[in-house]
Structure 1
Amino acid sequence: MFSGAQISLYPMTDDFVGVILGAIGALDPYRSNFRIETDDLSTLIVGPPEQLFPAMRDLFLAASRRGVHCVLAATVSRGCPGEPDDPICTPIAGSSDDRPLESRIAAAVRHVETAPRTGQVVAAQFSLYPLGSGHHMDEIYGCIDFLKRSGVFDRSKNFCTKLCGDAGPVFATLSEAFLRFGAPQGHVALDLKVSANSPSKA
């Protein structure tokens, strides 16, 4: 299964170049499993779906640990029918399945409960798009139910859901939303913004 993300990092500091280039090094442990390409707009990471959000978490933590306001914007996709098959993009057992919705919700909650804490508080807002035919609204409502039980749910907003808390559980929640909802072999997309150290917390 082809899965990956286009990621852009925005540090609000005069030393934005140093922050961005320094943070890119946090992706080094993932390079053996990922194809990683950086240009002037974004960094593409393509690889195992269950490793996408840990990689984004580590990248964002590396940028935000300096204490400056930092934002990560990402478009994440799995199963896109318009992308070529790639040997590094194969379905991972347990990463997404066709079990009943309530079973998937319970498994997702358990996974978030065991997520490591990082000490960095973040806010995130995202929208999940399970594409194709079928009961996509059931999947969306199931995901919302999971989010409300995740421990990092903040509130529903127009067109998206806001999460807030330690980066570990927040990124784990995003990963579970991406992996467990939508058809296991179907096309699922996620639009994401994450912010840390904001001067305008609300």
Structure 2
Amino acid sequence: MNIDCNIDGSVDVTGCKLSIYPMSDNFAGIITNAIHQLDALKLPVWQKTDLFSTTYRGRQENVVNIVKAACQLAYTESVHTVYELTFSKGCPGDTDADHYLNEEITPIKFEHELPNIPVACKYSFYAFGDADYMKDIEKIVNMAEDKGLNPEGMHYATKLTGSIDDLFDYFNEALSYAHEHIRHYVMEVTISVNSPSEG
């Protein structure tokens, strides 16, 4: 993970770097179709696609909504797909998206309803610059229990299972809590759908 920080940025910008890995011969078409559908909406975030991923930055709720929609749009029935997400907030280098913080919260709307798919997820939460960070991480994990996501401890991560709607609702709540209590944090997330290892 490479996060470029300096002392001049805005601590209010939420960022997410998203990578999509469909286990399909048509992986490129699945990924580009999802990204192009989102691009066509001209959503109120800063974004850039590179060799590895697409980065979205701006107001927290808009970033979470867009990343969730990207995952749903890339979902293909019976195709095992993995999504890698890195959420970050408080990095003093996040200057490119400052003006997007004034945008309204924008729901994602398509002519067809996006699927509320079952997901498995592992995530790790990292707090920077706070000595007593474990109490906040414990609170964030307990919020997942309240969402019915069945958190299970594992080495270096926590596993969650449930629907994509509940998962991203939880991400939004967890990020809001973190913004109020932690100066700078990163959340690393891996989401899996249609894994042959399940069941």
TM-score range, shorter chain: 0.7 to 0.9
Query: Structure 1 residue 75 and structure 2 residue 72: aligned?
Result: no
Cα separation, partners in 2 of 1:143 and 1:185, compared to 1, 3 Å: closer
The answer (yes or no) to whether the contact 2:144–2:151 under 8 Å persists in 1 is no
The answer (yes or no) to whether the contact 2:151–2:161 under 8 Å persists in 1 is yes
What is the deviation of 1:117? 9.2
Return the TM-score normalized by structure 1.
0.79
Q: Between Structure 1 and Structure 2, how many residues are aligned?
A: 180
What is the deviation of 1:123? 0.7
Separation in structure 1 between the aligned mates of residue 114 and residue 148 of structure 2, nearest angstrom: 13
Equivalence for 2:164: 167
The one-character-per-residue Cα deviations of 1:6-55 (angstroms, maximum 9, x if unpaired) are 11110000000110011113423763311111111110111111222221
Structure 1: gaps of 5 or more residues: 94-115
Return the TM-score normalized by structure 2.
0.80
SS, match of residue 187 in structure 2: strand
* Counterpart selection for 1:130 from 122, 127, 131: 127
The answer (yes or no) to whether the contact 1:117–1:167 under 8 Å persists in 2 is no
Separation in structure 1 between the aligned mates of residue 124 and residue 74 of structure 2, nearest angstrom: 23
Identity %: 29
Separation in structure 2 between the aligned mates of residue 23 and residue 117 of structure 1, nearest angstrom: 12
Cα separation, partners in 2 of 1:157 and 1:179, compared to 1, 3 Å: same
Structure 2: gaps of 5 or more residues: 1-11, 106-112
What is the deviation of 1:184? 4.8
Structure 1 segments, 4+ long, off by >4 Å, are: 90-93, 182-185
Cα separation, partners in 2 of 1:90 and 1:142, compared to 1, 3 Å: farther
RMSD (CA atoms) = 2.6
The answer (yes or no) to whether the contact 2:127–2:182 under 8 Å persists in 1 is no
Query: Structure 1 residue 11 and structure 2 residue 22: aligned?
Result: yes
